[in-house]
């Protein structure tokens, strides 16, 4: 039996977010940004660099308080959020497993993480320190940490940036397999169209700064049918629709 | 992990296994051996100099050793040593606790720092002797005044070091902790303290050295026991051998504390750092 709030969408209505630089110049990062991510949906926030994607995530994560507008996270009372940041942000002085367990709420601290470690290929690395991991592995640990908390909503901020394409692709598949085993409402920031087409149910395209929704691209096709041929067709129609943005 | 990485790790563990024990033992002994040889050298130099210029004011190691043994057997040396060590420990704990709290607060709140910075500079520059004398005048010739005066001398140094540490805190870890809703205790234990550890180590290193020197002055001026008091006594008797005996014993004990307590603790606290290959 799910609580009522659990099936609620992620609803975002940010009227304005302005940054004031040290010289006193104010820059409007976001203006009239509203969108919705349905329950259990994987959405991507795509846009040119500097359009306020990361700022949007920071607002939703509660790290930026100074903005006008509102947002509502799904999940009701159990509204745990999880985030995978641009950098893995693991505590260097704690082992892989400690890093993950520390992020868990008290009630889940002793939970069995074996299958999660298994899926992400981290079983043999539980007792390593983050400095002993490659960037790709550290990213996997960050993914494991996010999924282990069983969040009502998951935010990912370009989690595969600065990896070689082969590793990034491998991680995208890993992300998909963990996510399908533990489906949760997810919002991922990216500027990689192919990545967005591969992973998401819908792509929310942002305009250049000040960021607002330029359009929405629904990828209705189930993920298992998104082979290279289909992906390039999807890519073409996406580019036709949003030629001015990219 | 790529296949290549797995392979290279396997090779490392295979080649590292057989010679592991011997090289580990040698590695552990080399620093100790170096220290020993260098100390023996200093000892020889001292004996040589004392034989070349024999004087009551410049005893040779043998004479110092005799005093040391005599006072140890009589129980006088261990008593005064214990008293001084207790004072060092009390002032150290006091100074580190108060200094860290103030330092972290100043490093975190800019406005507070701007206001109190002048105070910190003032206290940094008040001579130790002035603080000791004032403490004895205001609070009397007692233990509280003695320990308090030493702590007050050390606190500004701790404040400055810990303030740097708090300024260098990485906001990303704080944000991560906020997103994952770490409890206050977890934030202190797993986010704050590990980041401050190097600064804490630096402050305690320089702290112990400074504190024990000031404790001797405090004892000389206003206490009737402790190493400082004994040194003052032997100064009046012009007994250099006894002065050296007390000093060397105390230095030896501080060295032991460094080797047996401070360094193992530091190794434990920094075990996560990547070791040089």
Q: How far apart are CA A82 and CA A154, in angstroms?
A: 5
Question: Are residues A134 and B191, on separate chains, in Cβ contact within 8 Å?
Answer: no
Is B11 domain-assigned? Answer: no
Is B55 domain-assigned? Answer: no
In B, minimum Cα distance to A136 occurs at B1
- Same domain? For A158 and A40 the reply is yes
In A, minimum Cα distance to B182 occurs at A103
Closest CA to A237 of A210, A223, A217: A217
Chain A residues touching residue B190 (CB < 8 angstroms): 91, 93-94, 102
- Same domain? For A176 and A227 the reply is yes
State the pLDDT confidence band at B57, using cuts at 50, 70 and 90.
confident
Domain boundary among A150, A169, A195: A150
State the pLDDT confidence band at B21, using cuts at 50, 70 and 90.
low
- Same domain? For A62 and A110 the reply is no
State the pLDDT confidence band at B22, using cuts at 50, 70 and 90.
low
pLDDT averaged over every residue in chain B: 87
Is A55 domain-assigned? Answer: yes
Q: Which domain holds residue A111?
A: 90-150
Is B101 domain-assigned? Answer: yes
Is A85 domain-assigned? Answer: no
Q: Which domain holds residue B201?
A: 85-238
Domain boundary among A150, A167, A191: A150
First-to-last CA distance in chain B?
Answer: 20
Is A215 domain-assigned? Answer: yes
User: Who wins on pLDDT, B139 or A232?
Assistant: B139
Strands A68-72, A42-46: pairing kind? unpaired
Number of residues in chain B: 277
- Same domain? For A137 and A94 the reply is yes
| B161-206 confidence digits (pLDDT tens) | 999 999 999 999 999 999 999 999 999 999 999 999 999 988 988 8
Lowest mean pLDDT among B53-57, B146-150, B209-213: B53-57
Rounded to 10 deg, the angle between the B143-167 and B193-222 helix axes is 150
- Same domain? For A158 and A221 the reply is yes
Query: Which distant-in-sequence residues (6+ apart) come within 8 Å of B241 by Cβ?
Result: B59, B63, B64, B66, B67
- Same domain? For A139 and A223 the reply is no
Give the CATH number of the domain where residue A46 resides.
3.40.50.300
Considering CB atoms only, which of B1, B182, B274 is closest to A137? B1
Q: Is the pLDDT of residue B276 over 90?
A: no
Q: How far apart are CA B100 and CA B157, in angstroms?
A: 10
Is A4 domain-assigned? Answer: no
Q: Is the pLDDT of residue B7 over 60?
A: no
Q: Is the pLDDT of residue B268 over 50?
A: yes
DSSP chain B: --HHHHHHHHHHHHHHTTTHHHHHHHHHHHHHHHHHHHHHHHHHHHHHHHHHS-BTTB--HHHHHHHHHHHHHHTHHHHHHHHHHHHHHHHHHHHHHHHHHHHHHHHH-HHHHHHHHHHHHHHHHS-HHHHHHHHHHHH-SSHHHHHHHHHHHHHHHHHHHHHHHHHT--HHHHHHHHHTT--HHHIIIIIIHHHHHHHHHHHHHHHHHHHHHHHHHHHHHH-SSSHHHHHHHHHHTT-HHHHHHHHHHHHHHHHHHIIIIIHHHHHHHTTTSPPP-
Q: In what order do the strands lie in the sheet with A26-37?
A: A26-37, A10-20, A68-72
> Given CB atoms, is B171 within the 8 Å cutoff of chain A?
no
- Same domain? For A237 and A179 the reply is yes
pLDDT score for A76? 63
pLDDT score for A194? 87
Is A145 domain-assigned? Answer: yes
- Same domain? For A134 and A193 the reply is no
> Given CB atoms, is B198 within the 8 Å cutoff of chain A?
no
pLDDT score for B53? 86
Is B150 domain-assigned? Answer: yes
Is A84 domain-assigned? Answer: no
Q: How far apart are CA A151 and CA A54, in angstroms?
A: 19
Which stretches of chain A drop beneath a pLDDT of 50? Answer: 1-5
- Same domain? For A43 and A58 the reply is yes
Q: Say if CB B217 and CB B128 are below 8 A apart.
A: yes
Query: Which distant-in-sequence residues (6+ apart) come within 8 Å of B9 by Cβ?
Result: none
Q: How far apart are CA A185 and CA A182, in angstroms?
A: 10
- Nearest CA-CA distance, residue B273 and chain A, Å: 7
In B, minimum Cα distance to A147 occurs at B180
Number of domain units in chain A: 2
Give the CATH number of the domain where residue B158 resides.
1.10.3720.10
Is A115 domain-assigned? Answer: yes
Q: How far apart are CA A204 and CA A38, in angstroms?
A: 12
Across the range B254-259, mean pLDDT stands at 85
The reply to whether omega before B254 is within 30° of 0 (cis) is no
Considering CB atoms only, which of B175, B179, B190 is closest to A94? B190
Is A2 domain-assigned? Answer: no
pLDDT score for A47? 86
- Same domain? For A66 and A50 the reply is yes
| B88-115 confidence digits (pLDDT tens) | 999 999 999 999 999 999 999 999 999 9
- Same domain? For A156 and A142 the reply is no
User: Who wins on pLDDT, B20 or A84?
Assistant: A84
Considering CB atoms only, which of A80, A131, A137 is closest to B274? A131
Rounded to 10 deg, the angle between the B240-257 and B76-108 helix axes is 50
In B, minimum Cα distance to A80 occurs at B180
Q: How many CB pairs under 8 A join A and B?
A: 58
> Given CB atoms, is B116 within the 8 Å cutoff of chain A?
no
Question: Are residues B173 and A91, on separate chains, in Cβ contact within 8 Å?
Answer: yes
Number of domain units in chain B: 1
């Amino acid at each position: 039996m799910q609580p009522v709030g659990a099936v609620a969408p992620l609803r975002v209505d940010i009227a304005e977010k302005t940054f004031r630089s040290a010289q006193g110049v104010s820059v409007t990062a976001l203006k009239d940004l509203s969108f919705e991510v349905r329950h259990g949906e994987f959405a991507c926030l795509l846009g040119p660099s500097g359009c306020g994607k990361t700022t949007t995530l920071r607002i939703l994560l509660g790290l930026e308080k100074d903005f006008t507008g509102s947002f509502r996270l799904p999940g009701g009372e159990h509204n745990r959020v999880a985030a995978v940041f641009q950098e893995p942000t693991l505590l260097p002085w704690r082992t892989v497993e400690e890093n993950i367990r520390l992020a868990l709420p008290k009630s889940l601290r002793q939970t069995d993480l074996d299958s999660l470690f298994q899926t992400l290929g981290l079983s043999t690395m539980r007792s390593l320190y983050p400095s002993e991991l490659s960037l790709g592995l550290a990213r996997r640990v960050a993914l494991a940490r996010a999924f282990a908390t069983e969040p009502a909503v998951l935010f990912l901020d370009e989690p595969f940036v600065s990896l070689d394409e082969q590793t990034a692709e491998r991680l995208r598949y890993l992300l998909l397999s963990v996510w399908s085993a533990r489906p949760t409402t997810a919002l991922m920031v990216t500027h990689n169209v192919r990545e967005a087409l591969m992973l998401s149910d819908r792509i929310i395209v942002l305009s250049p700064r000040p960021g607002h929704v330029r359009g929405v691209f629904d990828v209705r096709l189930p993920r298992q049918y998104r082979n290279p041929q289909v992906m390039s067709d999807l890519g073409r129609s996406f580019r036709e629709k949003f030629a001015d943005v990219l | 992990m790529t296949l290549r990485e797995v392979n290279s790790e396997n090779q490392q563990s295979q080649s590292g296994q057989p010679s592991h024990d011997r090289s580990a033992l040698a590695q552990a002994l080399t620093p100790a051996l170096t220290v020993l040889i260098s100390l023996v050298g200093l000892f020889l130099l001292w004996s040589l100099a004392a034989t070349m210029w024999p004087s009551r004011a410049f005893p040779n190691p043998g004479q110092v050793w005799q005093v040391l043994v005599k006072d140890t057997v009589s129980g006088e040396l261990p008593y005064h040593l214990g008293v001084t060590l207790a004072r060092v420990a009390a002032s150290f704990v006091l100074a580190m606790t108060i200094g860290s709290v103030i330092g972290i607060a100043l490093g975190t709140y800019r406005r507070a720092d701007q206001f109190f910075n002048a105070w910190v500079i003032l206290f940094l520059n008040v001579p130790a002797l002035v603080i000791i004398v004032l403490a004895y005048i205001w609070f009397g010739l007692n233990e509280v005044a003695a320990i308090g005066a030493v702590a007050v001398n050390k606190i500004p140094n701790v404040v400055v070091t810990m303030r740097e540490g708090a300024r260098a805190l990485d906001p990303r870890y704080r944000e991560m902790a906020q997103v994952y809703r770490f409890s206050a205790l977890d934030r202190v234990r797993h986010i704050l303290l590990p980041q401050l550890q190097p600064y804490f180590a630096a402050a305690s290193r320089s702290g112990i050295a400074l504190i024990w020197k000031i404790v001797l002055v405090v004892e000389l001026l206003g206490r009737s026991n402790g190493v400082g008091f004994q040194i003052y006594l032997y100064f009046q008797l012009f007994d250099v051998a006894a002065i050296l005996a007390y000093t060397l014993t105390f230095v030896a004990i501080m060295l032991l504390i460094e080797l047996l307590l401070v360094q193992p603790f530091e190794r434990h606290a920094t075990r996560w750092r990547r070791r040089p290959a």
